[in-house]
Amino acid sequence: MVNSNPIGTPKDRLEALKESYLSRLESNLNHLELLAGRLLEKAQSDEYLEELHSTLHSISGSAGSFGFNQVGQQARRFEQATAKILNQANAPDEPLPAREWIAQLRASLESDKKQKASASIESSSTSKADGNTCIWLIERDAILAEFTAQQLKSFGFEVHHITDLQELNNPSKPAPDLLLIDHRANQTLSAKPEHLGSWKTLLKDFTCPKYFFGAEDTFDARLQALRNDGKGYFVKPLNMISLTRHISELFQVESSEPGRVMILETNSRLSQTLQTALEQADMLVYSLSEPQQLFESLNEFNPELILLDLWLTEVNGQELTALLSQVERWAHLPIIYIANESNSSLKNQALLMGGGIFLEQPIDTELLARLCKSQVHKLRQLEASRSKDALTGLLKHASIKEAIQSHWNYVQRQPQTFSLVMLDIDHFKQVNDTYGHPVGDLVISAVGTLLRQHFRSTDKLGRYGGEEFTLLLVDCEADDAFKMVDNLREAFEAIKFSSGDTYFSCTLSAGVLDNKQFSDASADALIEHADKALYQAKQSGRNRVCLACA
């Protein structure tokens, strides 16, 4: 039985959940033993086979989350073997070796108990950023749900556990921003995948994003999730670091700036029609008729997409594509070709030069506007992924420095206060040395997610290097920045990381300033001042935030 309102330290709560899980696992194994005996007497009973399958499925989907990795993997193999037999029309030649399976599961359980296999997180912190993402967790396994919910809460998500699908219509719950669904939670003991389709009907009133998860790492499970409007499918045991990062990135607001489209077209009437259609679709448009001015105009307008007349009088689309591909800055600029006739050889040549989409006249302007938007969206996503650090999803060193420089340039023209923060995990070397590099990576990654949860999407957050982070907080004075970073420091300290059966927490130090304090300083000098304040925080005992002195 799981206490729905657990008390005690995070460690106590995790331990209690692991204890509950272990005793359930042991009774599952006893139940499997019973089924194995019945199957010996009645080898082809579908009823017993389905129960065996379902119990193995439940173990395979949950054991790994509690650190019983070998048990989970083995249960998955046995579950697959049982499913094969269930799907066969004829009785198998050999009886199912269920007794041997159970002996192997018991041996794995003993071995898992001795291993330090899992790394997880827990927090007692309740201080959260405003507007927490509200997640409804639809999971029929109460222990697993509690365990998952506690970890999600550590990152500042608000989590509601749905055990009974009737609760989906409960108006007293705060509306979800995201549904996280065990894809089999709409079934009872049945393991038949054809029942999965009904999620679409069950969730028809929910417009928020949906993620599915399940024990199966199969094409079918992913396809079903997609067909049920899932934005993604995660395999159990859930990797909480990757899941929380996925979720927090999902809610990062994409730039709402209008897409910038350049039109290079000699036919002025056509050019005007296209420009009007795109402007009506809220895009910024720059029209050009002279190819000779191409590079000058590109540098001036900085487009995210170019509409190119495939057959200009002096130079053709193929040559222009080649020219663009030779200049690094424009080599990956998306191109939409406007062809005034069906000239397949010209099209093929431009395609071979790396060209993009072809539209023939008469142009469907509505389709064109949609295509332009999707091309700009793709380019922005690509640029974002290039500038992001793989472990944390934050900006890489060069990108955060660039963001600081460009914001600094901006405030020279439009005076505005911003704060800079340098932040570093304390004694991080010890974490690596004691628990290993992968656990160290988990801690770094957790800082990334925590930062995204605590700051606005308009702030720039970067991994400066190793275990050091840089934040640019726009429109924010140092005193406010100090308070926010101090809240973050407390939240981070409250997170309990676990490596096997060992629990530990980490702290961080930070240096904070705003540009008003150092009005003559360059962007680089501001970073240096913030770094000095960080050094001061380290020198004066760590686990603290220091304001830079002007």
Ligand X SMILES: Nc1nc2c(ncn2[C@@H]2O[C@H](COP(=O)(O)OP(=O)(O)OP(=O)(O)O)[C@@H](O)[C@H]2O)c(=O)[nH]1
Q: Which is nearer to ligand X, 178 or 546 (CB)?
A: 546
Contacting ligand X (CB under 6 A), which of 139, 426, 459, 514? 426
Span interacting with ligand X, options 115-123, 181-189, 269-277, 438-446, rule CB under 6 A: 438-446
Shortest Cβ 396–ligand X spacing (Å):
12
Q: How many CB atoms lie within 10 A of CB 542?
A: 14
Site size for ligand X (CB under 6 A): 16
What is the 3 state secondary structure string of 89-153?
CCCCCCCCCHHHHHHHHHHHHHHHHHCCCCEEEEECCCCCCCCCCEEEEECCCHHHHHHHHHHHH
Report if residue 425 touches ligand X, rule: CB under 6 A. yes
Span interacting with ligand X, options 247-255, 320-328, 371-379, 424-432, rule CB under 6 A: 424-432
Contacting ligand X (CB under 6 A), which of 61, 303, 334, 440? 440
* β-sheet with 178-182: strand ranges across: 158-162, 134-138, 178-182, 210-214, 230-235
Shortest Cβ 102–ligand X spacing (Å):
39
Q: Which is nearer to ligand X, 77 or 437 (CB)?
A: 437
Report if residue 548 touches ligand X, rule: CB under 6 A. no
Report if residue 448 touches ligand X, rule: CB under 6 A. no
CA distance 502 to 496: 10
Span interacting with ligand X, options 178-186, 261-269, 282-290, 433-441, rule CB under 6 A: 433-441
Q: Which is nearer to ligand X, 317 or 511 (CB)?
A: 511
Shortest Cβ 19–ligand X spacing (Å):
30
Closest chain position to ligand X (CB): 440
Give the long-range contacts of residues 519-522, CB within 8 A, separation 24 or more.
522/408
Q: Which is nearer to ligand X, 131 or 466 (CB)?
A: 466
Nearest to 144 by CA among 8, 316, 14, 245: 14
CA distance 524 to 512: 15
CB 303 within 8 A of CB 393: no
What's the N-to-C CA distance of the chain in angstroms?
Answer: 58
Q: Which is nearer to ligand X, 71 or 400 (CB)?
A: 400
Q: Which is nearer to ligand X, 260 or 532 (CB)?
A: 532
Contacting ligand X (CB under 6 A), which of 173, 329, 378, 429? 429
Residues near 70 by Cβ (< 8 Å), separated by ≥ 6?
108, 109, 111, 112, 115
Report if residue 467 touches ligand X, rule: CB under 6 A. yes
Q: What element of type H or E holds 472?
A: strand 468-474
Which residues are marked as active site? 467
Strand partners, 233: 212
CA distance 180 to 230: 9
Nearest to 251 by CA among 231, 268, 223: 231
Shortest Cβ 448–ligand X spacing (Å):
11
Span interacting with ligand X, options 111-119, 154-162, 226-234, 434-442, rule CB under 6 A: 434-442
Q: Which is nearer to ligand X, 38 or 542 (CB)?
A: 542
Q: Give residue for tokens 């680089």.
A: 524
Shortest Cβ 23–ligand X spacing (Å):
35
Span interacting with ligand X, options 129-137, 227-235, 440-448, 452-460, rule CB under 6 A: 440-448
The helix/strand/coil state of 29 is helix
The site string for ligand X over 218-257 (x = CB under 6 A, - otherwise) reads ----------------------------------------
- Cα dihedral angle (269, 275, 277, 279), rounded to 10 degrees? -150
The helix/strand/coil state of 158 is strand
Shortest Cβ 381–ligand X spacing (Å):
24
Q: Which is nearer to ligand X, 285 or 533 (CB)?
A: 533
Q: Which of residues 386-405 bind ligand X (CB under 6 A)?
A: 391
Q: CA of 128: how far to CAs of 294, 450, 465, 482, in Å?
A: 50, 10, 26, 16
Contacting ligand X (CB under 6 A), which of 295, 428, 518, 535? 428
Q: Which is nearer to ligand X, 161 or 542 (CB)?
A: 542
* β-sheet with 460-465: strand ranges across: 460-465, 468-474, 418-425, 508-514, 545-547
CB 155 within 8 A of CB 449: yes
CB 351 within 8 A of CB 357: no
Report if residue 505 touches ligand X, rule: CB under 6 A. no
Q: Which is nearer to ligand X, 377 or 542 (CB)?
A: 542
Contacting ligand X (CB under 6 A), which of 338, 395, 444, 473? 444
Both tokens of 272, joined, read 């005007």
Q: What element of type H or E holds 525?
A: helix 523-539
Report if residue 354 touches ligand X, rule: CB under 6 A. no
The site string for ligand X over 523-542 (x = CB under 6 A, - otherwise) reads ---------------x---x
Nearest to 530 by CA among 444, 483, 474, 468: 468
Contacting ligand X (CB under 6 A), which of 370, 378, 437, 483? 437
Shortest Cβ 398–ligand X spacing (Å):
16
* Residues contributing to the site for ligand X (CB under 6 A): 391, 424-429, 432, 437, 440-441, 444, 466-467, 538, 542
